[in-house]
Chains A and B, each alone.
Chain A
Amino acid sequence: MSKKLKKLLRRVIIAAVLFFPLLILLKSGAFARLPGAALTVMFMVPYLIVGYDIILGAFKNIRNGNVFDEKFLMTVATIAAFCIGEYAEACAVMLFYQTGELFQGYAVGKSRRSISEMMEIAPEYANVETDGAVEETDPDEVGVGSVILIRPGERIPLDGVVIEGESFLDTAALTGESVPRLVSAGDQVISGCVNGDGTLRVRTTKVYEDSTVAKILELVETASERKARLENFITRFARWYTPLVTAGAVLLAAVPPLVLGQPFGGWIHRACIFLIVSCPCALVISVPLGFFGGIGAASRIGVLVKGSNYLEAAASMTTVVFDKTGTLTKGEFRVTEVLPSKEGGLTRDELLELTALGESSSTHPIARSVLAAYGKTPDLTRVGEAHETAGRGIRVTVDGRELLLGSRKLMEAEGIATGEEHPSGTVIHAAAGGSFLGSIVISDTVKEGAREAVLRMKSIGVRKTVMLTGDREEAAAAVAAETGIDEFHSGLLPAGKVERIEALLKESDGRHRVGFVGDGINDAPVLMRADVGIAMGSLGSDAAIEAADIVLMDDDIRKIASVVRIARKTLRIVKENVAFALIVKAAVLILGALGMANLWAAVFGDVGVTVLAILNSMRALEEKG
């Protein structure tokens, strides 16, 4: 709690301690003989203790020409109440108004703290190494290509590449991922992570302003500035509501007594009720506070939502479109099958070993994946000369025997029959001495959790899941079947992906939103076009993160369903708040105008509603997704 709030709390407590005994005495009739002036003085004491700053603020604002200010309205309403002899009510209105302010300050502070827990990722300094000397420098002043030293337990200040050292990094603050990540020379490191036990020397690749940590902070801070439609509506509504209700109050106080000659007292009482409920604060605060809570809840599970409007859109997302490579699949090639032929007579291990030896000199990603599957260091003394035939394969001597490794076309060119074609992935065929030895299938593997991610989305009401890919149809079909995706389109160029999204956007009416999940550089236009663009944070390209509306910091697509759930809960809370505040205020206004409500009801219509709306908003922050 801030100093300011603590001071306010003390004042509220002192005023309450003075006020309630007075109230009980008044209601029990003990003050029946006392004149109004004495009562005014008695109730003025707690009134001024709790409300002096409101009255001062009101006068300051009048001097500046702001009449429709809530402080001014509160002051007028309470002083008018004193004048017509509603001493206890006048004092109570001020007391409860301030209690409401106290609650509001506390609730906002709490939401703000949870966001600033995120903010703690901000590094304070960088150890820059120049000519062997190390100096602590402001991360803002470190240029690209500088060498920085990161000691155990320190926060990585800038994005870069490790040039020396090995360590585990704690990325939890950025991604919500609790398993530390091992990095060594050659690996990328992102700012905001906490270094483990090793010392790292890192060459920076970005200035602070462009580094991950600065971008994330910027995103979180500006998130509440991108307003949801509901919020814009409320802001416009508030602009009209207060002047209208205030005008209503003036009419109530003036017209019946002047025109119909009725006594002033009763009508001024009704006008006070109007003034007290004329403050739109419950509405104005509860909408952004609810969204703020929702964005905070998402950031706690490692998902950045770039604005309230995107959270609003995510709540009604019923079609989710995925990119294939890197989103549903890992984007890494791996040996998935080893298929020795009958005529070759080799075992699976022998075929793999032979192929690995044959490919040992190649740096091609496919060759590397074969070597990775082999797992041992190839005995290079067994390998002779190798000749690559561009794009088709390799002719290499292994154990003195000529081995042919490559595509089906290479085999056909040599007149070697290869049998049935494998449906998915890239295939290395192996042959020696004119006969086919077998094949090795290399394919991109589906991410762990991809199927679960699709299932979870279905269970929360996503009606259609679609996959778009530039890959061949066979590969696409295999991934679609494995993940349970409803529909796929293969062989698409980036422009084709945009067309597909546009077709889906047309199909869905205004209430149902289309989301796109992607990671690659080619995805940026599609991410922008979709209602909700979701990008991978750690694998993804900067362009994709820039273009996206929601960023998954740890690339876990299962979290999409969690975000939708958080978004829906947030929206439900915000709508509840708006409906509740409008209904209560309307009821108090109508009953007040008819003379059927008292100032206590008005206090509830203002402060009570605000406090309840705030408490309700705070639930959004608690949602775990």
Chain B
Amino acid sequence: MKKKFKCEIDCANCAAKVEAAIKKVDGVIDAKVNFLTQKFTLEAADEAFEEVLAAAVKAGKKAEAEFEVEL
């Protein structure tokens, strides 16, 4: 399943860092953090989507404290 969320991210470099960090999370098939459109796209298996999403947001926040996702 692929889902898109609104997110808050302050700079292009930060978005790249957050994206790289989220891609390393277990269960994430693909992730994109788009600085210009302020959108976060996550692709993960349907069954575990909610857990993966929570882990992804946590990993993103760890990479860049200002990363916020509107769930």
A residues in contact (CB < 8 Å) with B:
57, 60-61, 64, 66, 69-70, 101, 104-105, 108, 111-112, 115, 221, 224-225, 235, 238, 280-281, 284-285, 288-289, 292
Question: What is the 8 Å Cβ interface bit string for chain B, positions 1-30, against chain A (1 contact, 0 not)?
Answer: 000000000111100110000000000000
Distance to closest chain A CB from B19 (angstroms): 10
A225 and B34 in contact, given A57-B66, A61-B65, A64-B62 (Cβ under 8 angstroms): yes
- Which residues of A have CB within 8 Å of B36? 108, 111-112, 115, 224, 288-289, 292
- Which residues of A have CB within 8 Å of B37? 112, 115, 221, 224
- Which residues of B have CB within 8 Å of A115? 36-37
* B12, B38, B64: the one within 8 Å of A281 (CB): B12
> For chains A and B in complex, what number of residue pairs have CB atoms within 8 angstroms?
52
A288 and B65 in contact, given A108-B36, A112-B38, A225-B32 (Cβ under 8 angstroms): no
Extra contacts, 14 of them, besides A61-B65, A101-B10, A112-B37 (Cβ < 8 A), are A64-B63, A66-B64, A69-B64, A105-B10, A115-B36, A221-B39, A224-B34, A224-B36, A225-B32, A225-B34, A281-B13, A284-B11, A288-B35, A292-B36
Bound-state Cα–Cα, A289 to B37, Å: 11
Interface size counted on chain B using CB atoms at 8 A = 18
- Which residues of A have CB within 8 Å of B11? 70, 104, 281, 284-285
Q: List 22 A-B contacts (CB under 8 A).
A: A60-B65, A66-B17, A66-B64, A70-B13, A104-B11, A105-B10, A112-B36, A112-B37, A112-B38, A115-B36, A221-B39, A225-B34, A235-B16, A238-B13, A280-B13, A281-B13, A284-B11, A284-B12, A285-B11, A285-B12, A289-B12, A289-B36
> Nearest 3 pairs between A and B by C-beta?
A60-B65, A284-B13, A285-B12
Query: Who on chain B is nearest to A239 by CB?
Result: B16
- Which residues of A have CB within 8 Å of B16? 235, 284
- A61 near B64 with CB under 8 A, answer yes
- Which residues of B have CB within 8 Å of A221? 34, 37, 39
Bound-state Cα–Cα, A61 to B34, Å: 21
Distance to closest chain B CB from A295 (angstroms): 9
- Which residues of A have CB within 8 Å of B63? 64, 66
- Which residues of A have CB within 8 Å of B10? 101, 105
Distance to closest chain A CB from B62 (angstroms): 5
- B65 near A64 with CB under 8 A, answer yes
Bound-state Cα–Cα, A57 to B11, Å: 14
Distance to closest chain A CB from B7 (angstroms): 13
Bound-state Cα–Cα, A152 to B54, Å: 44
- Which residues of B have CB within 8 Å of A281? 11-13
Query: Who on chain B is nearest to A293 by CB?
Result: B36
Bound-state Cα–Cα, A292 to B34, Å: 12
- Which residues of B have CB within 8 Å of A238? 13
- A57 near B65 with CB under 8 A, answer yes
Question: What is the 8 Å Cβ interface bit string for chain B, positions 48-67, against chain A (1 contact, 0 not)?
Answer: 00000000000000111110
Distance to closest chain A CB from B64 (angstroms): 7
Bound-state Cα–Cα, A428 to B67, Å: 70
- Which residues of B have CB within 8 Å of A112? 36-38
Bound-state Cα–Cα, A115 to B39, Å: 13
Bound-state Cα–Cα, A238 to B62, Å: 20
Bound-state Cα–Cα, A101 to B14, Å: 13
Bound-state Cα–Cα, A37 to B45, Å: 59
Q: Indicate the member of A64, A70, A104, A238 with the most B CB atoms within 10 Å.
A: A64
Bound-state Cα–Cα, A501 to B8, Å: 44
